[in-house]
Amino acid sequence: MAFDYFLLVFIASIGVYQIASIPAKLKGLWFFTHRKLQYIFGILAIISAFGWFFTAEERNVQHTVEGSQQLWLFLGAIIAAYVATVILSSVMEASVDSQGNDAGQGNQHEQGMETLKTTTVFGGILNSLRKKRKEEE
């Protein structure tokens, strides 16, 4: 049961991350380049996760997942979903500019979360490393 709950939250969280990244315009977290595909994927992930979890026949047995265990499963699942989203979006989004904007320009805000509007997380990390390397030279 604990693994089932973890999977429910993990899959639903991936869907939520995909939907939430659309109005925020964080293209670095998108799996698809089209907004409609993002919405469809996110909604299908959420619906399928809950549909699978609540329609399984073995749900009427006594469960041994306590409240504190459920908290840690939930936190672990949303963190794992974010890590999976970062990895998958970096791999799947070849059309997002991995160079991004010049990391040396702009203010601190543009170098933080705003980076995800133009590049993936891995692209942002590479930009940061390039900036440090240029400063050292």
Q: Per residue in 123-136, pLDDT tens?
A: 777 877 888 788 87
- Alpha helices in the chain, H assignment, sequence order: 2-20, 35-55, 67-92, 108-111, 121-136
Measured distance CA(127)–CA(68) in Å, rounded:
40
Measured distance CA(27)–CA(34) in Å, rounded:
10
* pTM (global) more than 0.85: no
Residues in the chain: 137
Measured distance CA(11)–CA(97) in Å, rounded:
27
Question: Domain ranges in the chain?
Answer: 1-96, 97-137
Measured distance CA(40)–CA(35) in Å, rounded:
9
pLDDT tens for the chain, 137 residues long, are 788 889 999 999 999 999 999 998 888 888 888 899 999 999 999 999 999 988 877 765 666 777 888 899 999 999 999 999 998 988 876 444 444 444 444 444 456 777 788 788 887 778 778 887 888 77
Measured distance CA(1)–CA(21) in Å, rounded:
30
* Tokens of residue 88, six digits: 């998958």
